[in-house]
Amino acid sequence: MILVQRMLSETSMRPVSEQVELLVERRLFLKRRWRGVAGDGTEFGFDLESRLKHGGVVYQTESVDYVVRQETELVYQIRPENPEQAALMGWKIGNLHLGVQVIDGFIRIVHDTAVLQLFEREGWAYEEVHVVFNPLRVTAHAS
């Protein structure tokens, strides 16, 4: 098993054919200690100084880069029609205290029954999509 303490770089400069993927669930990016297995069967142990990032190189050999990638996940996606609706959606979704991502004019939120009930109650059009989901990192009462 190979022990990893930090990312070597945020992206690989090698062609995809010279990259070995280590596909992991989003929640592992929040952990400091965990184990994983790359696409070629190489086992890794992680005891991290700081968080990994999707697409980051965690190990290199002369011939390949080992790249950690986040699995896609099913989320809800909505597109506010105007700034007022965006504010209302943000307020109501925020009251659910679930992770959200704001990207390209869309609001993405974890796939959860409470979210579906909110969307249906409000009559908001939504879609379900599989994406690499990166919710906003916020801290209560941050200044």
pLDDT averages per 10-residue partition of the chain, 143 residues: 96 97 93 96 96 95 97 96 94 93 94 96 97 78 45
Q: Say how many CA atoms lie within 13 Å of 122 toward its Cβ.
A: 18
Q: Which of 76, 70, 72 is CA-nearest to residue 58?
A: 70
CA torsion 40-131-110-31 (nearest 10°) is: 30
* Boundary of a domain, candidates 51, 70, 89: 70
C-alpha 111/C-alpha 73 separation (Å) is: 9
| 118 plus 92 within the same structural domain | yes
Q: What is the pLDDT at residue 93? A: 94
| 66 plus 77 within the same structural domain | no
If one counts the domains in the chain, the total is: 2
* Boundary of a domain, candidates 70, 88, 104: 70
C-alpha 117/C-alpha 127 separation (Å) is: 14
Contact between residue 75 and residue 129 where contact means Cβ atoms under 8 Å apart = yes
Q: What is the pLDDT at residue 118? A: 97
Whether 142 is in a domain gets the answer no
| 79 plus 122 within the same structural domain | yes
Helical H segments across 13-133, by residue range: 83-94, 113-122
Q: Which domain holds residue 41?
A: 2-70
| 49 plus 97 within the same structural domain | no
Whether 112 is in a domain gets the answer yes
Contact between residue 12 and residue 32 where contact means Cβ atoms under 8 Å apart = no
| 91 plus 65 within the same structural domain | no
Here the CATH number for the domain that contains residue 63 is 2.60.260.20
Please state whether the predicted TM-score (pTM) of the whole model is above 0.85: no
Q: Which of 11, 140, 7, 130 is CA-nearest to residue 75?
A: 130
Q: What is the pLDDT at residue 141? A: 47
Q: What is the pLDDT at residue 138? A: 62
Here the CATH number for the domain that contains residue 90 is 3.30.70.790
| 10 plus 65 within the same structural domain | yes
Whether 18 is in a domain gets the answer yes
* Boundary of a domain, candidates 35, 52, 70: 70
